[in-house]
Protein backbone atom coordinates (compact mmCIF):
# COMPACT_ATOMS: atom_id res chain seq x y z
CA UNK A 1 0.00 0.00 0.00
CA UNK A 2 2.86 2.36 0.87
CA UNK A 3 4.60 1.68 -2.45
CA UNK A 4 1.36 2.14 -4.36
CA UNK A 5 0.69 5.54 -2.79
CA UNK A 6 4.23 6.74 -3.54
CA UNK A 7 4.30 5.09 -6.99
CA UNK A 8 7.51 3.20 -6.20
CA UNK A 9 8.47 -0.44 -6.69
CA UNK A 10 11.34 -0.70 -4.23
CA UNK A 11 11.42 -2.59 -0.94
CA UNK A 12 14.33 -3.22 1.41
CA UNK A 13 15.60 -6.71 2.20
CA UNK A 14 14.42 -6.45 5.83
CA UNK A 15 11.09 -5.09 4.61
CA UNK A 16 10.71 -8.08 2.31
CA UNK A 17 11.48 -10.46 5.19
CA UNK A 18 8.91 -8.72 7.41
CA UNK A 19 6.34 -8.76 4.59
CA UNK A 20 6.75 -12.51 4.05
CA UNK A 21 6.51 -13.20 7.80
CA UNK A 22 3.35 -11.17 8.42
CA UNK A 23 1.71 -12.25 5.17
CA UNK A 24 2.12 -15.96 5.98
CA UNK A 25 1.12 -15.30 9.60
CA UNK A 26 -2.16 -13.63 8.65
CA UNK A 27 -2.94 -16.05 5.81
CA UNK A 28 -2.37 -19.07 8.06
CA UNK A 29 -4.38 -17.53 10.89
CA UNK A 30 -7.20 -16.70 8.48
CA UNK A 31 -7.52 -20.27 7.24
CA UNK A 32 -7.28 -21.67 10.78
CA UNK A 33 -10.10 -19.34 11.86
CA UNK A 34 -12.17 -20.53 8.90
CA UNK A 35 -11.62 -24.08 10.15
CA UNK A 36 -12.65 -23.09 13.68
CA UNK A 37 -15.77 -21.44 12.23
CA UNK A 38 -16.76 -24.77 10.66
CA UNK A 39 -16.60 -26.38 14.12
CA UNK A 40 -18.58 -23.49 15.59
CA UNK A 41 -21.35 -23.92 13.02
CA UNK A 42 -21.32 -27.69 13.45
CA UNK A 43 -22.01 -27.30 17.18
CA UNK A 44 -24.60 -24.54 16.59
CA UNK A 45 -26.60 -26.57 14.05
CA UNK A 46 -26.03 -30.20 15.05
CA UNK A 47 -25.91 -29.75 18.85
CA UNK A 48 -27.68 -26.45 19.56
CA UNK A 49 -28.57 -27.34 23.17
CA UNK A 50 -24.88 -27.83 23.99
CA UNK A 51 -23.65 -24.70 22.19
CA UNK A 52 -23.38 -22.40 25.21
CA UNK A 53 -21.53 -25.07 27.15
CA UNK A 54 -19.09 -26.06 24.35
CA UNK A 55 -18.43 -22.68 22.71
CA UNK A 56 -17.83 -20.67 25.87
CA UNK A 57 -15.38 -17.84 26.51
CA UNK A 58 -12.59 -20.16 27.64
CA UNK A 59 -12.95 -22.36 24.55
CA UNK A 60 -12.90 -19.32 22.25
CA UNK A 61 -9.79 -17.96 23.97
CA UNK A 62 -7.99 -21.30 23.68
CA UNK A 63 -8.93 -21.72 20.02
CA UNK A 64 -7.82 -18.17 19.18
CA UNK A 65 -4.52 -18.71 21.02
CA UNK A 66 -4.02 -21.93 19.05
CA UNK A 67 -4.73 -20.11 15.79
CA UNK A 68 -2.16 -17.40 16.56
CA UNK A 69 0.42 -19.95 17.71
CA UNK A 70 0.00 -22.01 14.54
CA UNK A 71 0.27 -18.89 12.40
CA UNK A 72 3.41 -17.71 14.23
CA UNK A 73 5.21 -21.08 14.04
CA UNK A 74 4.37 -21.77 10.41
CA UNK A 75 5.25 -18.21 9.39
CA UNK A 76 8.58 -18.49 11.17
CA UNK A 77 9.35 -21.75 9.34
CA UNK A 78 8.41 -20.25 5.97
CA UNK A 79 10.42 -17.07 6.50
CA UNK A 80 13.48 -18.99 7.69
CA UNK A 81 13.29 -21.44 4.79
CA UNK A 82 12.81 -18.72 2.19
CA UNK A 83 15.69 -16.49 3.28
CA UNK A 84 18.12 -19.25 4.29
CA UNK A 85 19.53 -19.25 0.77
CA UNK A 86 21.24 -16.66 -1.42
CA UNK A 87 19.42 -14.80 -4.17
CA UNK A 88 20.88 -14.30 -7.64
CA UNK A 89 18.53 -11.42 -8.47
CA UNK A 90 16.63 -8.70 -6.62
CA UNK A 91 13.72 -8.31 -9.07
CA UNK A 92 10.50 -9.94 -7.83
CA UNK A 93 7.90 -10.46 -10.57
CA UNK A 94 4.94 -9.94 -8.26
CA UNK A 95 3.18 -7.05 -6.53
CA UNK A 96 4.61 -8.14 -3.16
CA UNK A 97 7.32 -10.47 -1.82
CA UNK A 98 5.52 -13.70 -2.66
CA UNK A 99 7.37 -16.90 -1.76
CA UNK A 100 7.00 -18.72 -5.14
CA UNK A 101 8.51 -15.72 -6.93
CA UNK A 102 11.28 -15.40 -4.34
CA UNK A 103 12.17 -19.07 -4.77
CA UNK A 104 12.73 -18.44 -8.49
CA UNK A 105 15.47 -15.97 -7.56
CA UNK A 106 17.52 -18.40 -5.45
CA UNK A 107 20.95 -19.47 -6.69
CA UNK A 108 20.35 -23.12 -5.75
CA UNK A 109 17.88 -25.39 -7.53
CA UNK A 110 16.50 -26.93 -4.34
CA UNK A 111 15.82 -25.48 -0.91
CA UNK A 112 15.05 -28.46 1.32
CA UNK A 113 13.89 -26.31 4.24
CA UNK A 114 11.37 -24.40 2.14
CA UNK A 115 10.19 -27.48 0.24
CA UNK A 116 9.63 -29.28 3.55
CA UNK A 117 7.73 -26.27 4.91
CA UNK A 118 5.51 -26.11 1.84
CA UNK A 119 4.87 -29.85 2.12
CA UNK A 120 3.84 -29.44 5.76
CA UNK A 121 1.59 -26.54 4.78
CA UNK A 122 -0.10 -28.58 2.04
CA UNK A 123 -0.75 -31.49 4.40
CA UNK A 124 -2.14 -29.20 7.11
CA UNK A 125 -4.19 -27.18 4.60
CA UNK A 126 -5.74 -30.27 3.03
CA UNK A 127 -6.33 -31.72 6.50
CA UNK A 128 -8.20 -28.57 7.54
CA UNK A 129 -10.20 -28.58 4.29
CA UNK A 130 -11.15 -32.26 4.70
CA UNK A 131 -12.21 -31.48 8.27
CA UNK A 132 -14.38 -28.63 6.96
CA UNK A 133 -15.92 -30.92 4.31
CA UNK A 134 -16.70 -33.68 6.81
CA UNK A 135 -18.15 -31.09 9.19
CA UNK A 136 -20.40 -29.73 6.46
CA UNK A 137 -21.57 -33.21 5.50
CA UNK A 138 -22.89 -33.56 9.06
CA UNK A 139 -24.29 -30.02 8.98
CA UNK A 140 -26.14 -30.48 5.67
CA UNK A 141 -27.45 -33.88 6.81
CA UNK A 142 -28.90 -32.21 9.90
CA UNK A 143 -30.25 -29.23 7.93
CA UNK A 144 -32.08 -31.44 5.42
CA UNK A 145 -33.93 -33.05 8.33
CA UNK A 146 -35.32 -29.71 9.50
CA UNK A 147 -39.10 -29.56 9.07
CA UNK A 148 -39.10 -25.82 8.33
CA UNK A 149 -38.17 -24.66 4.84
CA UNK A 150 -37.26 -21.24 6.27
CA UNK A 151 -34.92 -22.87 8.76
CA UNK A 152 -33.20 -24.85 6.01
CA UNK A 153 -32.81 -21.74 3.87
CA UNK A 154 -31.33 -19.77 6.76
CA UNK A 155 -28.84 -22.52 7.58
CA UNK A 156 -27.74 -22.90 3.95
CA UNK A 157 -27.37 -19.14 3.46
CA UNK A 158 -25.12 -19.05 6.53
CA UNK A 159 -22.93 -22.02 5.61
CA UNK A 160 -22.51 -21.76 1.83
CA UNK A 161 -20.56 -18.42 1.81
CA UNK A 162 -18.14 -19.85 4.36
CA UNK A 163 -17.62 -22.98 2.27
CA UNK A 164 -17.08 -20.90 -0.90
CA UNK A 165 -14.43 -18.75 0.80
CA UNK A 166 -12.61 -21.84 2.11
CA UNK A 167 -12.61 -23.50 -1.32
CA UNK A 168 -11.47 -20.34 -3.12
CA UNK A 169 -8.73 -19.73 -0.58
CA UNK A 170 -7.33 -23.27 -0.67
CA UNK A 171 -7.52 -24.05 -4.38
CA UNK A 172 -6.03 -20.76 -5.59
CA UNK A 173 -3.30 -20.97 -2.94
CA UNK A 174 -2.41 -24.52 -4.00
CA UNK A 175 -2.43 -23.43 -7.66
CA UNK A 176 0.25 -20.84 -6.85
CA UNK A 177 2.44 -22.91 -4.52
CA UNK A 178 2.22 -26.37 -6.11
CA UNK A 179 2.26 -25.60 -9.83
CA UNK A 180 5.37 -26.30 -11.97
CA UNK A 181 7.50 -23.15 -12.06
CA UNK A 182 7.61 -22.80 -15.84
CA UNK A 183 4.19 -24.00 -16.93
CA UNK A 184 2.00 -21.08 -15.82
CA UNK A 185 2.01 -17.63 -17.45
CA UNK A 186 2.91 -14.77 -15.12
CA UNK A 187 -0.43 -13.01 -15.64
CA UNK A 188 -2.38 -16.13 -14.61
CA UNK A 189 -0.20 -16.60 -11.56
CA UNK A 190 -0.81 -12.96 -10.61
CA UNK A 191 -4.57 -13.51 -10.85
CA UNK A 192 -4.39 -16.57 -8.58
CA UNK A 193 -2.25 -14.61 -6.14
CA UNK A 194 -4.74 -11.74 -6.04
CA UNK A 195 -7.60 -14.17 -5.39
CA UNK A 196 -6.05 -16.02 -2.44
CA UNK A 197 -4.24 -13.02 -0.92
CA UNK A 198 -6.84 -10.26 -1.42
CA UNK A 199 -10.23 -11.52 -2.63
CA UNK A 200 -10.65 -14.32 -0.08
CA UNK A 201 -9.82 -12.10 2.96
CA UNK A 202 -12.08 -9.35 1.58
CA UNK A 203 -14.97 -11.82 1.65
CA UNK A 204 -14.50 -12.35 5.40
CA UNK A 205 -16.90 -9.51 6.37
CA UNK A 206 -19.62 -11.30 4.40
CA UNK A 207 -19.29 -14.50 6.44
CA UNK A 208 -18.34 -12.85 9.73
CA UNK A 209 -20.63 -9.88 10.27
CA UNK A 210 -22.55 -8.36 7.34
CA UNK A 211 -25.21 -11.07 7.56
CA UNK A 212 -25.76 -10.16 11.21
CA UNK A 213 -29.06 -8.29 11.75
CA UNK A 214 -27.57 -5.77 14.17
CA UNK A 215 -24.72 -4.97 11.77
CA UNK A 216 -27.20 -4.56 8.90
CA UNK A 217 -29.32 -2.20 10.98
CA UNK A 218 -26.31 -0.11 12.00
CA UNK A 219 -25.04 0.09 8.42
CA UNK A 220 -28.47 1.15 7.21
CA UNK A 221 -28.56 3.95 9.78
CA UNK A 222 -25.07 5.16 8.84
CA UNK A 223 -25.73 5.04 5.10
CA UNK A 224 -29.15 6.63 5.57
CA UNK A 225 -27.64 9.55 7.50
CA UNK A 226 -24.96 10.11 4.86
CA UNK A 227 -27.42 9.99 1.99
CA UNK A 228 -29.80 12.39 3.69
The 10s digit of each residue's pLDDT in 123-159 is: 888 888 889 889 988 888 888 887 777 777 777 777 7
pTM for the whole structure: 0.76
Determine, yes or no, domain membership for 177.
yes
Residue 65 region by backbone torsions, left for phi larger than 0, else alpha for psi between -120 and 50, else beta: alpha
Q: What is the DSSP string of 43-89?
A: HHHH-GGGHHHHS-HHHHHHHHHHHHHHHHHHHHHHHHHHTTS-BS-
Determine, yes or no, domain membership for 209.
no
Determine, yes or no, domain membership for 82.
yes
Mean pLDDT of the chain: 81
Identify the band that residue 104 occupies on the pLDDT scale cut at 50, 70 and 90: confident
In this predicted structure, what is the pLDDT of residue 118?
Answer: 77
The 10s digit of each residue's pLDDT in 180-195 is: 655 666 677 778 777 7
Residues spanned by the domain of 46: 2-203
Residue 10 region by backbone torsions, left for phi larger than 0, else alpha for psi between -120 and 50, else beta: beta
Determine, yes or no, domain membership for 143.
yes
Number of domains in the chain: 1
Distances in whole angstroms, Cα of residue 117 to Cα of each of 45, 112, 174, 213, 214:
36, 8, 14, 42, 42
Q: What does DSSP assign to residue 106?
A: B
User: Is the pLDDT score of 177 beyond 80?
Assistant: no
Determine, yes or no, domain membership for 228.
no
Residue pair 108/85 in contact by the 8 Å Cβ criterion? yes
- Select the more confidently predicted residue: 171 or 53: 53
The 10s digit of each residue's pLDDT in 41-77 is: 889 888 888 888 988 999 999 999 999 999 999 999 8
Q: What is the CATH number of the domain that holds 52?
A: 1.20.1070.10
Determine, yes or no, domain membership for 30.
yes
Determine, yes or no, domain membership for 216.
no
Rg (CA), the chain: 21
In this predicted structure, what is the pLDDT of residue 67?
Answer: 92
Determine, yes or no, domain membership for 75.
yes
Amino acid sequence: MFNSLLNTRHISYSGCVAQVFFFIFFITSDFCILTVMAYDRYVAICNPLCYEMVINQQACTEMLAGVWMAGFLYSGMHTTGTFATHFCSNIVNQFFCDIPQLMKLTCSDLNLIEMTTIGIGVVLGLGCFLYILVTYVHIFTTVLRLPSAKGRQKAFSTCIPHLIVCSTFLFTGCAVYLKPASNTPLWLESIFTVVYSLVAPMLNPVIYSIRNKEIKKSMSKVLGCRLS
